[in-house]
Structure 1
Amino acid sequence: MTEPAHHRVDVALGDRSYPVHIGPGVRTLLPGLVAATGAARAVVVSARPAHALPSLGVPVRWVAARDGEENKNLATVAELCEHFARFGLTRSDVVVSCGGGTTTDTVGLAAALYHRGTPVIHLPTSLLAQVDASIGGKTGVNLPEGKNLVGAYWQPRAVLCDTEFLDTLPPRERVNGYGELARCHFIGAPGLAALPLVDQIARSVALKASVVARDERDQGLRHVLNYGHTLGHALERATEYALRHGEAVAVGTVFAGLLAGALGRIPPARVAEHRDVVASYGLPTELPADVADDDLVAYMRRDKKAEGHALTFVLDGPAGPELVPDVPEDLVRATLATMPRTTAPHASLTASPR
């Protein structure tokens, strides 16, 4: 079979390196990738029907994926591992995820834990998962206390970003994915909005791959990928996930620009650029009307980047984005106060798709 024309980006991690294929029809590469693992059987956790994927050439157990933040928890991971065990999966076999960001995260963590590490291949089906969640080996689930507080680093064997899956996304879900693309403008990939979508995905993946190759486990540089995420994660929790991840990161990116300006790290024009770029994607730029600053500050203190409950942000500056610890709480609150608020409650906060 002739391989589809597509982009390929390699995540260079020595003997754990792997390819990311991006383009229409790349799911046809899946049987060859499964064969390359040497697996005798596979578990496919999929949000799509079986006919959406090619035959893998080995016995398969199909498990229905459950996307959505309400399913991104340890109970889902335990249930997945039970499916693996009942099928007799071994660490020489393979797990395949086919779904959005929640599926990628939960299946990735289940694969990392089962037999202390079972090969996994990701087929992300949402824009958000293709540009971010499926790349880099971070797996994680939520606790009531915060986002992604339980997880592991477990690199996949390959990632297939089949852009044909995106054709069926509802408008709000596509806009949600733009949130991660918008923040790329400020961490090393400006001007994405002018490119065709497949090229935007490829540029975003290449940026993330280059960062992960230099800092796999968040020792320094990889923190820049969390641009806009400190407030973004807090907004998700404070709205009980009515505000979706990409939407929340978009608002968080606007806030990051304002906070960097308040600290004197960037000039007013660069502050304004944050809002302009986010708005150009049709993403929200305002805080929800009914979310309290006290709640946001409390959740930001629980952010994974924080040390000793100090407020920590990734902020733009003269040398580019970097981790800025110990940001004064009064300045954070004052900056939140400068942000416009929607007139509607958070449950109805959504932007118009471009």
Structure 2
Amino acid sequence: MTDTAGAAEGTRVDVELGERAYPVHIGPGVRALLPGVIAALGARRAVVVSARPPGLLPGTGVPTLTLTARDGEAHKTPGHVASLCREFAQYGLTRADVVVSCGGGTTTDTVGLAAALYHRGVAVVHLPTTLLAQVDASVGGKTAVNLPEGKNLMGAYWQPRAVLCDTGFLRTLPAEEWANGYGELARCHFIGAGELRGLPVHEQIAASVRLKAAVVAADERDTGRRHLLNYGHTLGHALETATGFAVRHGEGVAIGTVFAGLLARALGRVDSARAREHREVVRHYGLPDRLPPGVDVAGLVTLMRRDKKAAASCHGLTFVLDGPRGPEVVPGVPEETVARVLGTMRAETAVRHPVPADPTTARGSRAP
């Protein structure tokens, strides 16, 4: 992983994957790099799938079909992927061309999977437009859609050819989208990103991308170290599914991060102060730190059995937990212990901490 900075290309972090290596550019205005990226690929035409108005997008420099993205978890389905692939085919897209995603994390996931499957793989470039997508979803090559049985159960690894994190897109985000992204930043605190509270937002994004780039370069396909990026996600994904996605991804990860601290304490892996730190970090970002009212603990345990790390253990559940050696995959956690800790996190009413109306000027998290 290399890291450079320049006025034209913003902060550049390279994801070092040999012939599949690619740059991530972070900063205001980096969307303008898109025509050059496409020219370097040699693509003759492009399909842009965008959740943003066309006027906010740069030209591609080649003949382009623009499609409206169906952003949101409700549209992260196999059927939507199939409809995108049909649009690609009707336009005459070939393996020598390029697909561009422009939207939040669900858009990068869905469009990325469509690009991975169409003609067994066509180049994709991501222009993430939300904090969640810039911090995490657009980098690393994981693409997936949901099934009724759980989140992200159908997917593929397909690395983008470039990622352009234009922080100018963040200026128009509503408070709930900032909170969604802050959930991923909160969990970064416990997996090696260091103290991010109080930093300008572009530095927070860059720190998260540097961490993810290093992890992905070492373990592209989730055989070991990359599981650390799922800190807080096992419960988070279960909460999303259990609530029909009324709990958003970042909120679920935030609650899952608090749970990870409490579970590590219950297993004797960390002390009480470290467990409290999990809740303090989550609260700093204005995120929920308890289970939403009415969620069934037994149902959550059932959903967590389907987590992709579950195969690592024949008995009990598997989580990424903090400990004396730092975060690591911990298999064989007794279900009764999990249920007991979850029981301590129940809330009679929804619990939230204040999220500023304009997060770009609060808590040091300033937009560019």
TM-score, structure 1 as length reference: 0.96
Deviations 1:268-301 (A, max 9, x none): 1100000001100111101111101011101101
Instruction: Provide the alpha-carbon RMSD of the alignment.
Output: 1.2
Residue 90 (structure 1) aligned to one of 83, 87, 94: 94
Is 1:106 matched with 2:125?
no
Report sequence identity in percent. Answer: 69
Structure 1, 306-315 or 155-164: larger mean CA deviation: 306-315
In 2, Cα distance between equivalents of 1:343 and 1:25: 42
User: Which ranges of structure 2 fall in alignment gaps of 5 or more residues?
Assistant: 1-5, 357-368
SS at match of 2:197: helix
Counterpart residue type for residue 137 of structure 2: A
Shift of 1:50: 1.7
State the 1:342 CA deviation.
Answer: 4.2
> 1:151 Cα shift?
0.4
Structure 1: gaps spanning 5 or more residues: none
Deviation at 1:310, TM superposition (A): 3.9
Q: How does 1:1-354 map to 2 (within 5 A)?
A: 4=8, 6-307=10-311, 308=314, 310-344=316-350, 351-354=353-356
Counterpart residue number, 2:365: none
Does the CA contact (< 8 Å) of 1:122 and 1:134 recur in 2? yes
C-alpha separation between the residues in 2 aligned to 1:196 and 1:32? 28
Kept in 1, the 8 Å contact 2:51–2:68? The answer is: yes
Q: 1:56 aligns to what SS in structure 2?
A: coil
Q: Amino acid of the residue matched to residue 276 of structure 1?
A: E
- Check the 8 A contact 1:302/1:309 in 2, yes or no: no
Aligned mates of 1:309, 1:176 — CA distance in 2:
33
Cα deviation for residue 5 of structure 1 reads: 5.5
Distance 1:57 1:3, change over 3 A: farther
Kept in 2, the 8 Å contact 1:172–1:350? The answer is no
TM-score, length basis structure 2? 0.93
Letter of the 1:306 partner, please give it: A
SS of 2:310 mapped into structure 1: coil
Indicate if the aligned counterparts of 2:9 and 2:25 stay in contact, CA closer than 8 A: no
Q: Deviations over 1:291-349 (max 9, x none)?
A: 010111011011111115741100000011011111001100111111241414xxxx6
Q: Would the aligned equivalents of 2:283 and 2:353 in 1 still touch at CA under 8 Å?
A: no
Cα distance, 1:351–1:84 mapped onto 2, change above 3 Å: farther
The one-letter amino acid paired with 1:248 is: G
CA distance in 1, matches of 2:310, 2:170: 35
Number of paired residues? Answer: 349
- Give the deviation of 1:350 after TM superposition: 5.2
Once the two structures are superposed, what CA deviation does each residue of 1:150-200 show, in whole Å capped at 9, x if it has no partner?
100000000000001011111111111000000000000121012100000
* AA partner of residue 90 (structure 2): R
Retained in 1: the 8 A contact 2:167–2:202? yes
Q: Can you list the C-alpha shifts for 1:185-231, whole angstroms capped at 9, x where unaligned?
A: 00001210121000000000000000000000000000000000000
| Matched residue SS, 2:354 | coil
Larger mean Cα displacement after TM superposition, 109-118 or 4-13: 4-13
Deviation, structure 1 residue 4: 2.9
Whole-Å separation in 1 of the counterparts to 2:345 and 2:335: 16
SS in 2 for 1:314: strand
CA–CA distance in 1 between the matches of 2:298 and 2:271?
28
Matched position secondary structure for 1:45: strand
SS at match of 1:106: helix
Amino acid paired to 1:244: R
CA distance in 1 between partners of 2:279 and 2:320 (Å): 16
Q: CA deviation at 1:11?
A: 0.2
Matched with 2:3 is none
The runs of 4+ residues in structure 1 deviating greater than 2 Å are 2-5, 349-352
Give CA-to-partner distance per residue, 1:73-116, whole Å, 9 cap, x none. Answer: 10110011001000000000000000001100000000000000
SS in structure 2 opposite 1:108? helix
Q: What's the CA shift for 1:55?
A: 1.4
Q: Is the CA contact 2:286–2:352 (under 8 Å) kept in the aligned structure 1? A: no
